[in-house]
Structure 1
Amino acid sequence: MEALRLEWCGDEAKLWTSGAMARQGLVTTVSSPAGTAAVVGWVGSVQDRLAGTRALLDAFDRPGAEPPLPAGDFAAVLVYRDRVLLMRDAQARIPLFFRESGGRVSTVSTSTRGLGRAAELERRYFCRYLTGNMAQPHTRLTPFAGVYRVLGGEVVELSVTGRLRGRRSGDPAAPPDVLRPGEAGQDLRRALEQAVARRLGRTTACHVSGGTDSTSVALLAARLLAEGDASDADLILLAGRFDGGELAGERPYLQEAVDAVRRLAPAARPMIVEADDVADFDDFEHHAGDSDEPHAHAFRAPFWSRLHAVAAELGCDILLTGCGADPVVDSNPLHLHRLARSGRLRELTRQARAYAATSERGIREVVGTHVVRPALPLAAERFARLVHRGTVLGGLGNFTRPPWLRPGFARAHGYRAASIAESRFAFGRRPEQSLYDAANYLAAPDPLSWRYAQRNGFFLSHPFLDPEVIATMRCLPAEATMRADRSKAVLREAMADLLPRRISGRTAKIPFNDLYVRGLRAHADELVDLCRSARHPLTAEMFDIDTLCRAVREAQWGMGDSYAWDRVNASLALVVWLERLGDGRSAETGAAVPVTACS
């Protein structure tokens, strides 16, 4: 989807934005004597997007200025008299790409398809994509040769004629001082309240599932609206309800969450969407094939798109989720790796034993997962593959080459280098800190919301992934968060006065495995047929189709685990995406916006 486009006609820059998205408030454009800024999304706060865009334009007005990037979910193009700046916030929910050749940028767009050519595919990208579900958003490569991504938190500077001058990472939010354990809940509450307040719109929807995370966000939104001037604000509680299967067990918690929110904000409107007839992989060709890039989580799109369509009908201008809480505010078991590095083996044994007891796992599994695997991720996965010989999915982790990816293709296009880069991003030299860096991409892969934003009229936003919330949690000492007897202890402490006791005391939620199993039972034959009938030449060049089809069957039979299933899902999405690549669909951008800095 193309929300904005910047092109150079000779030495003159011309900027277009989507007229429909501008009318919806999803694109904001302001001009001053210094230049023009076009922002997709919001800066500062959702309710005052115009002021946020002006502030962004003013902040970068002075040449050489490198102010920290403000809070928000945005991609922006700033055109000044002497330079052009491209930037995205650190959460990187909204994409931005540019076509470059010989050090000169010719076009900038929010759509990689709008810049790419189907005949010029970048094979290194597909190796990176296939290493795991975090690979896409934090690599500069795109599916198309010569088209590159502006990374999250990055500022790209161009000359007024499009010459590439440099790229730098925007300064992250300044972390607070190291916090004392007794203050942890108060500081998280303060940071989370501010993150929710920035995201409140005139009609705000909140995902509510009955879990601690989504309920916390909805309760804070309700309280903020109740305490402020809420005469012109509306709150929608959006949930999917299942009457059968394992997920029916979530109904009492869902009702408890809705009741708690409505006690704070009686005018909040619960919208409960019946979802028993939804299964993963429904209409998979549409959801996987029409996305701007291959979308590894396209199999889950039927459920979310049904909920989001309801929010769109109600005129919501933003939808808040509890996404990101698990890696950000839960106890960080990778802290065990720090104990091993510092030689504190007795303390490591004590905490690993306690963590194993509460997570119902063996101590060997805990140490293997949180100490050995982060230290030697590729070696650990190769060993697992050797132990589980005889099946396609057995022992298949995040980084090792899936058996259906042809060895020749992997060697020729850098799969090993991609897997090393991905493992370093996921774990890094200090895995307990890398967890926070990777959480943004692990917890909230939502290209689906971007793809449907113009149709729905809103973006998704994730308060738990707000830079201030992450900075607060990073500064907490391990003893404040690593409480083996209680998950998300700091969050429960922070929300003690609002969370219903039944939800606050939950130790586990029912996963969405039912939807996945039901979807594979219903669509496995169809997915196998899609693979066998694929005609794009790159599909046969990359994949051993027989092995991929066998992997689909093993997943249908319940073999493998979530890591292995993610690899299958990503590969299936890529097969369908390549088949639909030749359609050439791209969204119209609408009327031209004058760029006063270059006129």
Structure 2
Amino acid sequence: MSILALEVGQHADARRVERMLATSTGVGAWDADDRHHEPGIAIGVRSRWVVPEDEGARAIAEDRDRGVVVAWEGRIDDRIGLIRALGASPRLTNAELACAAFAKWGADAPKHLIGEFVFTVFDRRERRALIVRDRLGIRPVYYVVRPDGLVRISSCERGLFACGDVDERPNLKVLASALAGSAVLLNETLREGVHVLEPGSILVVREGGTSTTTYFSVEPGGVDERLAPAEHVERIRAALDVAVASRTRGKWPIAAHASGGLDSSSVIAVAAKQLREANRPAPLLLHMTCASLPCDERRYARSVAARVDAPMVERDGSSAVYGPSTTDEVDLGGPWFEVLRELYGQAREAGARVVLTGDGSDEVQLRHWLEIDDSLLRGEWLDAARFAGLFDEPLDRDGWSRLARGFARNKLPQVTKLWRARRRPGDGLPSFLTPMARASALESLAALEQRRNDVPHPSPLRRAVAVELTSTVGMTLIMQELHSFASHCGVELLHPFLDIRVVEAFHALPTRMRTSFDLVKPTLRTAMEGLLPPEVLWRSIPTHYNDFHEAAWRRERDAWLPLARSSSLARLGLVDPERFRRAVEEAFEGELTADVRNALELEGWLARLDATSRAPHATARSWPDGKGLAP
């Protein structure tokens, strides 16, 4: 768990890097502080140790013979394999291994690293800096380019503005996308001028400017029809074993999210088994109860805790509140963040530094409703009928309709294209958007669709599966917010399902083993047989948290309504003030829709941003009027 901050350019200043790091700190002490400063670059890394090789290791390494400096933030999960490939000493730090990898493979070095990381390589001879982000972008990295050419880079976005010399303005294009429910942070953020380095990419900084290259992209291929179902199950079980083991290697206690669902429970079961075999304490389970609400899952979480003989901390979220300033540590939070604050505090007091999660499982194996199309593309009519639900209900009209639509999409593409063209542009967008916000949102949605279509694979399902891992709200905005919040609370979130080896094992599954019409994740369930209670393992009805969210929002109704009546979004030209005010008031009287919640969250962020801009030492700014948005 580390924070990386640096400046690259003629005016790089170590004092500004210190301010960036100070802005990014959270609860608890740091184990190490490393710095490097020379003409052209200033680097700082602040670290908390989570795995054995972190202890006592410097996060910055220098190869004087080659004129290279490497600053490392993250974890290498296949150190033994990398050390063998390099012929290196096992005593090398991660920064030193990355330095050796670049010496051997050059710009191809990241392809040989398995793990979660952000690191920079400064080459004195070439007068350039390379900033590398891990394959799936689990570790974030942000950067801004000042008018004088200085490039400022940080794994914490707020650190970029710590020095007061860069204006903090809202990004209208991203705000419009967020209002449409598609806040996917591909290479921009909510703040204008802030760039995100995309997963599997390298940022190259030279005196003449910046450029990016891609060293890894999720491939939709790899489906292995030769393996028997039992062999696929064993491959997934083995990959998950390796992923969990690589994240629990430290000497410190382990904590884990325990929702009561299949994903977090699977991680808990594997971790508990490994820790028990290593004579280490069972993981501390963290569970949010929702007493008196339909989404309460205490029964299942307690069943898992009893099965693996692990202690569990429970905090009730049924009375949670969520208002405009509930979670100042992140830009867009949620009702669960206050409960997570308490749970993470309990984990930290118990000595845990990492919290295992089940996040990523949905992205690699959930139903996409494109399974029918995929089956028809392969000529597997029985599989298509099974995914349409006709094996369960042969006379079901909806099932036949699903099959017919899939047939039209695959066999009559021109008809489908004409049908889509007749639909009113912007169907499904909030009614209170202004014309220019609507146009910008549609442009962003079209870009996301084009990204999916650009994936080189004939199957729409496989294209969707590939894009899901790097280009969704969950894997960009939400993941980054959760990581930032946990770091502020003094713990690090680790996601075994997002280990590239686990991802590849799930991507190799034939479509019929990925999901079924009435039961998602059948192969994971089979892999976890004997480790989880049957009531958790074979539960088919998902839990929805709508009641929890609505109750938390409604408790802060009097704080939200004034934001709608004096709307910053309207001032920016993104929403019609009267329609928006009416929509919010009606939502609090009736159904609090996702459209309204999205908009109000953005109003809350804009209000906090406005307050921050008027704080001492902050840069003064004026609100843009929206005229620069797409017409």
Q: TM-score range by the shorter chain?
A: 0.7 to 0.9
Partner of 2:262: 212
Structure 1: distance between partners of 2:72 and 2:92: 9
Out of 66, 78, 86, the residue aligned to residue 121 of structure 2 is: 78
SS at match of 2:96: helix
Worse overlay, 511-520 or 442-451? 442-451
Does residue 419 (structure 1) correspond to residue 445 (structure 2)? The answer is yes
Partner of 2:39: none
Distance 1:505 1:171, change over 3 A: closer
Structure 1: distance between partners of 2:342 and 2:373: 41
Distance 1:73 1:253, change over 3 A: same
Out of 396, 403, 411, the residue aligned to residue 431 of structure 2 is: 403
Report the Cα offset of residue 559 of structure 1.
Answer: 4.2
Report the Cα offset of residue 258 of structure 1.
Answer: 0.5
Partner of 1:302: 338
Output one character per residue of 1:383-441: Cα deviation in whole Å (capped at 9) or x when no partner: 4999xxxxxxxx73xxxx32222113444xx3322110123446766431223431454
Structure 2: distance between partners of 1:464 and 1:320: 10
Out of 459, 467, 478, the residue aligned to residue 500 of structure 2 is: 467
2:254–2:352 contact (8 Å) kept in structure 1:
yes
1:2–1:18 contact (8 Å) kept in structure 2:
no
Distance 1:212 1:113, change over 3 A: closer
SS at match of 2:122: strand
Report the Cα offset of residue 59 of structure 1.
Answer: 1.7
Distance 1:405 1:537, change over 3 A: closer
Partner of 1:590: none
2:9–2:149 contact (8 Å) kept in structure 1:
no
Out of 351, 362, 382, the residue aligned to residue 398 of structure 2 is: 362
Out of 93, 97, 101, the residue aligned to residue 59 of structure 1 is: 101
Structure 2: distance between partners of 1:306 and 1:510: 23
Report the residue type matching 1:475 in the other structure: A
1:2–1:114 contact (8 Å) kept in structure 2:
no
Any residues of structure 2 matched to 1:446-461 within 5 Å, and which? 446-461=479-494
Out of 121, 124, 131, the residue aligned to residue 173 of structure 2 is: 124
Report the Cα offset of residue 516 of structure 1.
Answer: 1.6
- Count of aligned pairs between the two proteins: 551
Any residues of structure 2 matched to 1:323-338 within 5 Å, and which? 323-330=359-366, 333-338=369-374
Distance 1:366 1:56, change over 3 A: farther
Structure 2: distance between partners of 1:49 and 1:319: 27
Output one character per residue of 1:468-487: Cα deviation in whole Å (capped at 9) or x when no partner: 11111111222333444543
Partner of 1:40: 73
Partner of 2:318: 276
Distance 1:123 1:353, change over 3 A: same
Report the Cα offset of residue 306 of structure 1.
Answer: 3.3
1:43–1:74 contact (8 Å) kept in structure 2:
yes
Report the Cα offset of residue 352 of structure 1.
Answer: 0.6
Report the TM-score, using the length of structure 2 for normalisation: 0.76
Distance 1:495 1:369, change over 3 A: farther
Out of 226, 230, 235, the residue aligned to residue 187 of structure 1 is: 235
Report the Cα offset of residue 106 of structure 1.
Answer: 2.2
Any residues of structure 2 matched to 1:71-470 within 5 Å, and which? 71-81=114-124, 82=126, 83-100=128-145, 104-115=149-160, 117-118=166-167, 120-133=169-182, 135-136=184-185, 139-159=186-206, 161=207, 163-170=209-216, 179-200=227-248, 201=250, 202-228=252-278, 230=280, 235-248=283-296, 250-262=297-309, 268-279=310-321, 281=322, 283-287=323-327, 290-291=329-330, 294-295=331-332, 298-330=334-366, 333-341=369-377, 347-354=383-390, 362-363=398-399, 366=402, 383=423, 396=428, 401-411=429-439, 414-425=440-451, 430-433=459-462, 434-439=464-469, 441-443=472-474, 445-470=478-503
Partner of 2:10: 10
1:355–1:485 contact (8 Å) kept in structure 2:
no
Report the residue type matching 2:441 in the other structure: Y
Report the Cα offset of residue 361 of structure 1.
Answer: 9.8
Structure 2: distance between partners of 1:483 and 1:364: 16
Identity of aligned residues (%): 23
Does residue 547 (structure 1) correspond to residue 576 (structure 2)? The answer is no
Report the Cα offset of residue 558 of structure 1.
Answer: 5.5
SS at match of 2:562: helix
Structure 2: distance between partners of 1:361 and 1:254: 38
Report the Cα offset of residue 120 of structure 1.
Answer: 4.8
1:61–1:80 contact (8 Å) kept in structure 2:
no
Report the Cα offset of residue 498 of structure 1.
Answer: 0.8
Report the Cα offset of residue 557 of structure 1.
Answer: 5.3
Report the residue type matching 1:197 in the other structure: A
Report the Cα offset of residue 222 of structure 1.
Answer: 0.6
Report the residue type matching 1:437 in the other structure: V
2:133–2:197 contact (8 Å) kept in structure 1:
yes
Distance 1:23 1:428, change over 3 A: closer
1:356–1:363 contact (8 Å) kept in structure 2:
no
Out of 468, 472, 479, the residue aligned to residue 512 of structure 2 is: 479
Show structure 2 runs of 5+ residues with no match: 23-28, 31-45, 81-89, 618-631
Show structure 1 runs of 5+ residues with no match: 263-267, 387-394, 588-599
Report the Cα offset of residue 284 of structure 1.
Answer: 3.1
1:236–1:269 contact (8 Å) kept in structure 2:
yes
Distance 1:342 1:187, change over 3 A: closer
Distance 1:346 1:503, change over 3 A: closer
2:12–2:150 contact (8 Å) kept in structure 1:
no
Distance 1:552 1:2, change over 3 A: farther
Partner of 2:552: 519
Worse overlay, 313-322 or 491-500? 313-322
Structure 1: distance between partners of 2:496 and 2:556: 35
1:103–1:163 contact (8 Å) kept in structure 2:
no
Structure 2: distance between partners of 1:572 and 1:377: 35
SS at match of 1:284: coil
Report the residue type matching 2:267 in the other structure: V
Output one character per residue of 1:238-265: Cα deviation in whole Å (capped at 9) or x when no partner: 11123312134x2221211100111xxx
Does residue 29 (structure 1) correspond to residue 59 (structure 2)? The answer is yes
Output one character per residue of 1:338-376: Cα deviation in whole Å (capped at 9) or x when no partner: 234456566533431248759x99326755997889987
SS at match of 2:345: helix
The root-mean-square deviation of aligned C-alpha atoms, in Å, is 4.0
1:404–1:547 contact (8 Å) kept in structure 2:
yes
Report the Cα offset of residue 491 of structure 1.
Answer: 0.6
Report the TM-score, using the length of structure 1 for normalisation: 0.79
Distance 1:108 1:521, change over 3 A: closer
Distance 1:553 1:322, change over 3 A: farther
Structure 1: distance between partners of 2:139 and 2:389: 42
Output one character per residue of 1:570-595: Cα deviation in whole Å (capped at 9) or x when no partner: 222221111221415899xxxxxxxx
Report the Cα offset of residue 336 of structure 1.
Answer: 1.2
Report the Cα offset of residue 170 of structure 1.
Answer: 2.9
- Name the larger-Rg structure: 2
Distance 1:151 1:365, change over 3 A: farther
SS at match of 1:316: coil
Structure 1: distance between partners of 2:191 and 2:204: 22
1:327–1:436 contact (8 Å) kept in structure 2:
no
Output one character per residue of 1:299-349: Cα deviation in whole Å (capped at 9) or x when no partner: 543333333232233332111111222342345542212234456566533
SS at match of 2:359: coil
